[in-house]
Structure 1
Amino acid sequence: MEITFLGTSSAVPSKYRNHPSIALKAFGEIMLFDCGEGTQRQLANVKISPMKIDKIFITHLHGDHILGLPGLIQSMGFRGRDSQNPLHIYGPVGLEKVKESIFNMGHFTIDFPVIIHEINNSGEEISIIFENDDYIVECIKTHHNVINLSYSIYEKKKPRFLREKAIELGIKPGPDFGKLHNGHSIEIDGKMIKSEEVLGPPRSGSKIVYSGDTIPCEEMIRLAKNATVLIHEATYKNLDFDKALNNFHSTASQSAGIAKEANVDLLILTHISTRYTNIDDLKEEALNIFENTKVAYDFRTLEI
């Protein structure tokens, strides 16, 4: 799994920080989390083709998180994306109206489906919004001044295949190994061999969580529990605590508190206000609470 930060600013971009967007390469796919203005230019800088993006997860409908969608979608159409390559966009209720606005913006041709998945989550329970054999995407409503959805993506990791045990049972290396590893039973010389006989104990896969914009809340802690990586907004320093509270954002130390409470492995701070030209103090505030903290910057890439 590879995380690339395309934009790490808050409401206003700067010379060094673009509007929010994160690209995730995993499971043979490329996904976007938020799509602020200028995202397609940022994708070009890191040599990620928009044509390979199949899913976009939008946290909320503030402009700094969605205004890159019109240009990105139009460019996909211009470059010949066809009906066999739908684009799935997930987000809060109201996203369908955003799509209507995009499709009424100027003159262009789109030959591929843009499929909107509006998520109605109350914040009481975590919702599964996508699942296949490789991973699960979940979300929960957190606390901003508009509806905000925080997301987690969790890798389904198969138990280790016990090769020597399989050979002892008379199974020859080949397709049968794969069938057993995928949970199927096979028959050898009239004897049924179940997959659990040649598989190790369950293993936890990597889990990446992204907050979007939110004040600290219990819902965020629940979603981020035991995450490998928590990407959390840290719009303000402690000295601007009142601004954070009034604008429904988090300080760096509050984000660190969430990471500590949720027992995550790594915290990455993003959505940094342009009022701060030196982020050392912001990072230090978080480090005082949660030791394994990094600050995102545009084009930073992390292997998980």
Structure 2
Amino acid sequence: MQLEFFGTGAGVPGKFRNVSSVALRLLDEINQVWLFDCGEGTQQQILRSTLKPRKIDKIFITHLHGDHIFGLPGLLSSRSFQGGNDQLTIYGPKGIKDFVQTSLRVSQTKLSYKINYVELTNPGIIYKGKKFTVIADRLDHQIECWGYRVIEHDHPGELMVEKLKEDNIPAGPIYGQLKQEKEVTLPDGRHILGKNYIGSPQKGRVVTVLGDTRKTASIKELAKHADVLVHESTFGKGESKLARNYYHSTNVQAANLANAADIQKLLLTHISARYTAKMARELQKQAREIFPNTKVVKDFDLIDIPFKKEEEK
């Protein structure tokens, strides 16, 4: 599981930061990529990575401001040309279906695949699969805006092969039955229970990706105990009044939330063009004074999301 950032800037494209887009790479888990927002130029950014558009199975749009959606028509069209024949699902606020369909109709674009639209109306579970569940909740922005919490289901415990060998239990079909936690009778007459040879489940990971927002109560629930929180940082320390007036957040507000929500890692994005490289490092430094495991991300940053170690649990 990895996060790959294709746009970390705010408002308009810049020389060093494109507008919002981040991919959750789930290639090892389900052989899919989920995209969160698709600002202008996202497909050009993808060309500079190893990601294949045909692997994009779901797109989650936080809100309908242009710096989060203007890249959609081009990406959807290119996905069709590049062999993406599998259906795609787009989640987002009411209006996302109209935006996409109008863009495709006016440009007379024909796609080789079907798009399913899920326009959000109520907070809660919006997707539940075999390995992942996604929860959405409203944020506080100038227009309707949503945040997403991706929950990986716990991995079943592994069969304790070494223990089986120590107990002189022969390999073969018996192992498969024990893996299913069945009761097995051995050739020597012993009765053994599969559950006694299964290790502890591996806790699934949680990734929270937020759209533009000012401080609001729903964020804490979306972020609670997350392994990674992707949070906007349009403004810096001492600019909380400006952030509130423009429906955005500061780096300090994000760091305080990270502490309150007991997350593992905070990734700050949606960086204003006012913050040059040196000033962006200052944003990071200020946030780290409150929440040490903070990173101001850059375009093309690739962030691994490991499982928690046993001692951390």
Whole-Å separation in 1 of the counterparts to 2:136 and 2:57: 18
Q: Is the 1:227–1:263 Cα contact (8 Å) retained in structure 2? A: yes
Q: Is the 1:184–1:194 Cα contact (8 Å) retained in structure 2? A: yes
Cα pair distance change 1:161/1:223, threshold 3 Å: farther
Secondary structure in structure 2 of the residue aligned to 1:231: strand
Deviations 1:135-186 (A, max 9, x none): 22222112112121111212222224322455578865456645654x5647
Deviations 1:87-126 (A, max 9, x none): 111112222212322222312221210111122224xxxx
Aligned equivalent of 1:49: 52
User: Which region of structure 1 is more displaced relative to structure 2, 273-282 or 16-25?
Assistant: 273-282
Secondary structure in structure 1 of the residue aligned to 2:62: coil
Q: Is the 2:156–2:200 Cα contact (8 Å) retained in structure 1? A: no
Q: CA RMSD in A?
A: 2.3
Q: Is the 1:232–1:268 Cα contact (8 Å) retained in structure 2? A: yes
Secondary structure in structure 1 of the residue aligned to 2:238: helix
Q: Is the 1:22–1:34 Cα contact (8 Å) retained in structure 2? A: yes
Structure 1 length as normaliser, TM-score? 0.89
Deviation at 1:79? 2.9
The 5 A counterparts of 1:1-304 are: 1-26=1-26, 27=29, 28-82=31-85, 85-122=86-123, 127-156=124-153, 157-166=155-164, 172-173=170-171, 177=175, 181=179, 183=180, 185=182, 196-277=195-276, 278-304=279-305
Whole-Å separation in 1 of the counterparts to 2:191 and 2:53: 47
Deviation at 1:75? 1.0
Q: Is the 2:284–2:294 Cα contact (8 Å) retained in structure 1? A: yes
Please list every run of 5 or more consecutive structure 2 residues that lacks an aligned counterpart in the other structure: 306-313
Whole-Å separation in 2 of the counterparts to 1:31 and 1:174: 39
Cα pair distance change 1:162/1:36, threshold 3 Å: same
Whole-Å separation in 2 of the counterparts to 1:118 and 1:194: 47
Deviation at 1:188? 5.0
Deviations 1:239-291 (A, max 9, x none): 33222101111000000011000011111100001111121221122112111
Please list every run of 5 or more consecutive structure 1 residues that lacks an aligned counterpart in the other structure: none
Name the amino acid aligned to 1:159.
G
Whole-Å separation in 1 of the counterparts to 2:231 and 2:177: 39
Name the amino acid aligned to 1:149.
W
Whole-Å separation in 2 of the counterparts to 1:200 and 1:129: 31
Deviation at 1:191? 9.5
Aligned equivalent of 2:308: none
Name the amino acid aligned to 1:227.
A
Whole-Å separation in 1 of the counterparts to 2:88 and 2:8: 24
Aligned residues: 297
Cα pair distance change 1:74/1:242, threshold 3 Å: same
Deviations 1:36-66 (A, max 9, x none): 1111111110121111111111111111111
Structure 2 length as normaliser, TM-score? 0.86
Name the amino acid aligned to 2:274.
R
Name the amino acid aligned to 1:298.
D
